[in-house]
């Protein structure tokens, strides 16, 4: 091969490799390393798109109940296992049409295109199924709040998150078990 061709294509190859590495790092920054779910930034952009195109969409907030007790009693590895399992259950419930994310700590979020097409009780049931960790049965419980985008005066993500948060705390107030939608 001509030395001139090699000399002129080497920088292009270097930029292509560099671009690929940066793209991979950006993708990793938008994924939570423990759960594999989208982080707040990665989830937000996608959730806004779902809300914009699906008038029957809903936003859900999920908060694990008694998570500190689980961590303090069984250790942080058990807590990490509970977070990863919660993420798997939420991701499975969302299916290929919804999108789950982890806001941080023991707080998760999801957006689904059609609230009427899903069963919130099935999600609550899945999130209350105990875990088996190193031969020990660990309790798992979560409070879920949902906001139907159609119930908002202006369909925007910040308002949906605020309403879902209020519904989630209302669910916690009913004994820290269950789900609640905005009304």
Residues designated as active site: 106
Are 146 and 166 in contact by the 8 Å Cβ rule? The answer is: no
Element (H, E) at 147: strand 142-148
Beta bridge partners of 112: 58
Beta bridge partners of 64: 142
Interacting residues of 36 by C-beta distance below 8 A, sequence separation 6+: 87, 91
Are 138 and 131 in contact by the 8 Å Cβ rule? The answer is: yes
Are 168 and 180 in contact by the 8 Å Cβ rule? The answer is: yes
Task: Tell me how far apart the alpha carbons of residues 92 and 119 are, in angstroms, rounded to a whole number.
Answer: 13
């Amino acid at each position: 091969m001509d030395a001139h061709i090699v000399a002129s294509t080497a920088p292009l190859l270097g930029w292509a490799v560099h671009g690929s590495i940066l793209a991979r790092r950006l993708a990793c920054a938008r994924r939570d390393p423990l759960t594999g779910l989208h982080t707040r930034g990665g989830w937000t952009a996608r959730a806004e798109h779902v809300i914009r195109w699906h008038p029957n969409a809903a936003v859900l907030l999920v908060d694990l109940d008694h998570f500190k007790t689980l961590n303090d009693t069984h250790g942080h590895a058990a807590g990490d296992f509970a977070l990863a399992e919660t993420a798997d259950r939420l991701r499975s419930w969302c299916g290929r049409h919804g999108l789950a994310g982890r806001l941080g700590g023991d707080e998760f979020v999801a957006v689904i295109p059609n609230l009427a097409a899903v069963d919130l009780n099935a999600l609550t049931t899945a999130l209350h199924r105990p875990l088996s960790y190193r031969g020990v049965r660990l309790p798992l419980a979560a409070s879920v709040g949902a906001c139907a985008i159609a119930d908002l005066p202006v369909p925007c993500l910040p308002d949906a998150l605020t309403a879902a948060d209020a519904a989630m705390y209302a669910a916690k107030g009913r004994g820290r078990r269950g789900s609640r939608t905005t009304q």
